[in-house]
Structure 1
Amino acid sequence: MPKINIACFILLFFLFSCYSKAQTENKATSTEAHSTDKGSILFNTNKADCISLPFGYSDISKRITVDSIVSAIQDENKLKEINALQFEKIIKKDLVLLPEEYDVFLPFGTTVNEKYDHIKIASHFLCYGDYSLYFMAVYNTVRYAEPFIEKMYLMSTKDGKLIDMKRIYLNHQGEMGFANYTLFDIDKNYIISVQDYELTENPFHLKPLHQYQILPSGKFARYFDKDGPYKNDDEQGIVKNHHKEGKWIESKSNGSMDLQKYPEFTDPYTYLEAEYKNGLPVGTWKFYKLLQKYNEETGEPLFNTRKKGPLIYTERYREGVLEKREFH
């Protein structure tokens, strides 16, 4: 009997050892597969690499002339500060969603010889409670001898998962001297200020400064200094707790639409009836054809003539996430 018990014990120990080894290997395989899944990014989590605030271009509200803007874009000290974020990790462009507010396609145009080494994540990042905010740079590698950062995004993540993105920097050199620029500033309270500049034949158009705040959900939402009614040439509604709330009327660019497929879009903007809750899109958004008159001499739109035309399409949102788009 003792010999039988010993033999049984040895057999059970051997089986248990094999099982444990198999489980360990399966766990390792599962972990490795997860880390290489399409769409996953291995972020730096070393808190020692968290940068301090403020960061960016603190005087963007004062830069209201072409010369002051160009000098900011060309400021070597600022470029050194940005490059000091250490953009080292290369990622493929199909691993992340790159939302655009401009019709600026380079270096993502289909006619461009796209490379996988021009989109990089910085090693240094922002720590914000349970969230980590990473900087992603898109380098222009096709039109100039030396690659430079053309676009920069701020990515909100939690536990290594991407939650939201916001483009905060742009240095796009177009043809005939036309250009689009975006400068940013992140203050000590994590309020993100973004200023867009457009250099055209006009020759210069200063767009409104927009501010953003990181919500408890980790998403970015427009931030306003004051509560109450808000109105400018492009949008109007109620601000509550520094964010958009309830019904808003907005003029949104539709330049990304296929005009041949949807000939209803005859104007670069759309009349939009939107709805927000705690700063995030909710409910059904209605996009109408924008009807407006233009100045015969300058070609600029006359904002007081804007009104909605026929309904073109709707979007349905739930807690800031687009669930469905339907054309009418």
Structure 2
Amino acid sequence: MPKINIACFPFFLFLFSCYSKAQTENKSINTEAHSDKGSFFFNTNKADCISLPFGYSDISKRLTIDSILSVIQDENKLKEINALQFEKTIKKDLVLLPEEYDVFLPFSTSVNEKYDRIKMATDFLCYGDYSVYFMAVFNTVRYAQPFIEKMYLISTKEDKLIDMKRIYLHHQGEMGFANYTLFNIDKNYIISLQDYEFTENPFQLKPLNKYHILPSGKFTRYYDHDGPYKNDEEQGMVKNHHKEGKWVESKSNGYLDLQKYPEFTDPYTYLEAEYKNGLPTGTWKFYKLWQKYNEETGEPLLNTRKKGQLIYTEMYREGILEKREFH
């Protein structure tokens, strides 16, 4: 079996530069859609709405390397995804929309030298007054046959762009390392995402995360049970299956510039966040997360974590990032 590996996520920081610059300068977000020949029109033919469930239905049961590789390499499933008919070529400036702070958008002039790398599918999801479209970023550089490297869901209403969420990843890195994200969308429009990393370890199974489409058309985390929630990365209260009130989150953060802060050894931050109906609200405070590591495995020692100095703040209103200030 070939050695598989996961690409380092600093790569995605590079892709994120356009969005980061627009946000940090506090400019208005351009939500106009374009194609090579002018305005881009989304398909609104209800006959092209796909039926649910759709995706990889049993990802939560895939716990071993062999079982995961079998589903990743399933040619029938890949044909099913490609059957969405990714035919409409779009330009890289289709949309710049805010997502969760640790999720990166796909647009960058350095990456999208060929506009035909990004395509919109003809088939889409019908969701009440909203339409949710599949957008694919194809890898056309290193391999003889182009394949879908990343796939996003984009929610719209009356051709107005609302939100986006990456749901699929197939990235082959150097030395045989690889990153994968597999998805499933159930009949209730609950989106399950499972990340897989193949490295020298040789394999890491990350927690399965779920997302939901709110009545506003925005994507937000979904939890099976209400009440107090806590894992290795976050803790807070869940209400109506969504985050509510004060949360504390300790995660790797792409906005932490290690060149600007050379005293920091990693890009982790300690976040004091606030949510209302599952969406960010109020002032978020990002502190440096200090932590020690296991000398043999390199894994962080959770019991050594503590809050450091304040690095930057973000101000949200109704889920929209309005301002970011570094300290």
Q: Per the shorter chain, which TM-score range? A: 0.7 to 0.9
Based on CA coordinates, which of the two structures has the bigger radius of gyration?
1
User: What SS class does the counterpart of residue 117 from structure 1 fall into?
Assistant: helix
Q: What is residue 234 of structure 1 aligned with on the other side?
A: 233
Q: Distance in 1 between matches of 2:256 and 2:304?
A: 24
Query: CA-to-partner distance for each residue in 1:191-233, whole Å, 9 max, x for gaps?
Result: 0000111111111111111101111110001000100000000
Return the structure number with greater helix share. Answer: 1
What is the one-letter code of the residue matched to 1:193? Answer: S
User: 1:72 deviation in Å?
Assistant: 1.5
Identify if the C-alpha distance between structure 1 residues 40 and 64 changes in structure 2 by more than 3 Å, giving closer, same or farther: farther
Whole-angstrom distance in 2 between the partners of 1:313 and 1:157: 31
Q: CA deviation at 1:262?
A: 3.8
Contact residue 195 and residue 208 of structure 2 kept, 8 A: yes
Greater CA deviation, 266-275 or 161-170? 266-275
Superposed displacement of residue 176, structure 1? 1.1
**What residue number does 2:118 align with?**
119
1:284-311 superposed Cα distances (whole Å, 9 cap, x missing partner)? 0000010111112111101122110010
Q: Which residues of 2 match residues 199-218 of structure 1 at below 5 A?
A: 199-218=198-217
Give the deviation of 1:103 after TM superposition: 7.9
For residue 176 of structure 1, give the secondary structure of its aligned residue in structure 2.
Answer: helix
Counterpart code for 1:172? H
Contact 1:104 1:172 in 2 (8 A): no
- Paired residue type of 1:168: I
2:283 & 2:71 partners in 1: Cα distance?
Answer: 40
Query: 2:272 and 2:224 mapped to 1: Cα distance?
Result: 23
Pairing of 1:1-328 with structure 2 (within 5 A):
41-97=40-96, 101=102, 110=110, 114-263=113-262, 265-328=264-327
Q: Distance in 2 between matches of 1:35 and 1:325?
A: 25
Paired with 2:306 and 2:198, the residues of 1 have a C-alpha distance of 28
Is the CA contact 1:234–1:251 (under 8 Å) kept in the aligned structure 2? Answer: yes
Please tell me whether the aligned partners of residues 168 and 194 of structure 1 are also in contact (alpha carbons under 8 angstroms). Answer: yes
Normalised to the residue count of structure 2, the TM-score between the two structures is 0.84
SS at match of 1:146: coil
Task: Please say if residues 264 and 312 of structure 1, whose CA atoms lie closer than 8 Å, have aligned partners that are also in contact.
Answer: no
Counterpart residue type for residue 135 of structure 2: M
Percent identity (aligned): 81
Unaligned runs of 5+ in 1: 1-33
8 Å contact from structure 1 (residues 291, 309) kept in 2: yes
Query: Cα deviation per residue 1:23-57 (whole Å; 9 max; x = unaligned)?
Result: xxxxxxxxxxx875999631000000000000000
Checking the alignment, whether the CA contact within 8 Å between 1:103 and 1:256 is kept in structure 2 is no
Whole-angstrom distance in 1 between the partners of 2:171 and 2:105: 8
Contact 1:247 1:275 (C-alpha < 8 Å) held by counterparts: yes
Does the 8 A contact of 1:91 with 1:119 survive in 2? Answer: yes
Contact kept, 8 Å, 1:264 with 1:289, in 2: the verdict is no
Q: Which residue of 2 is the match for residue 5 of structure 1?
A: none
2:34/2:91 contact within 8 Å kept = no
Cα separation, 2, equivalents of 1:64 and 1:91: 37
